Amino acid sequence: MSSRERILSSVRTAITGATAPVVPRGYADRLELDAAGQIALLVERIRDYKADVRVISQADLARTIGNVLGERSASSVVVPADLDPQWLTTVTCEVLRDDPPLDARRLDQVSAVVTSSAVSVALTGTIVLDAGTAQGRRVISLIPDLHICVVPAQTIVGTVPEAVRRLDPVRPLTWISGPSATSDIELNRVEGVHGPRNLVVLIVN
């Protein structure tokens, strides 16, 4: 008998007579907040993780991206192959488009990355990237030390259940809640281990 058959047969013997309960789903799946309230909550929660978060208008997006890269003295920035060139009109540092795909060692020399995002959760301050439009491959938002992440206001939801229902599990998903952090040394939270140590979130209203 194969290991597969042995395990399945042991499982079947073990659960003989086991009854499956009806799962109680009394938990909340949305917040009693309007769109402005959700944005305000998302800002507060992202700030709690020590990320830099700004609410801007679409007209200010390109100028803000240029300013953030300048403020942080970025010498180069990588962007997804399909990022709107209009977002980069004020960028003065070197721009690398991930097309053809850059290898990891090259990305390790790049200071910053600009991406969009798929869904954000106000209650937990979480941003989800699903490799969709203007988000690129997972590796580009991982290796550079500064991640400028654009959150379109219409992608913001209140709760985790709302976010899960909007996502397609077949896509590679990355949920981001603040910059990389660890609490491994005497439980002191330290921002920044392996992922980007600096996260700048631009909520476009």
Site residues (CB under 8 A) for another protein, limited to 167-196: 167, 169-188, 190, 192-196
Q: Tally the C-alpha atoms within 13 A of residue 51's C-alpha that lie toward its C-beta.
A: 28
Residue 55 token pair? 């609410």
- Cβ proximity to another protein: between 66 and 192 the closer is 192
- Cβ proximity to another protein: between 64 and 116 the closer is 116
When asked if residue 32 is in the footprint of another protein (CB under 8 A), the reply is: no
Question: Which of residues 49, 119, 156, 203 is near another protein by CB under 8 A?
Answer: 49
Number of residues that bind another protein (CB under 8 A): 73
When asked if residue 126 is in the footprint of another protein (CB under 8 A), the reply is: yes
Residue 71 token pair? 């403020």
When asked if residue 28 is in the footprint of another protein (CB under 8 A), the reply is: yes
Say how far apart CA 127 and CA 120 lie, in whole Å: 4
Give Cβ neighbours of residue 115 (< 8 Å, ≥ 6 apart): 79, 80, 83, 129, 134, 135, 136, 140, 141, 147, 148, 149, 150
Give the shortest CB-115-to-another protein separation in angstroms. Answer: 13
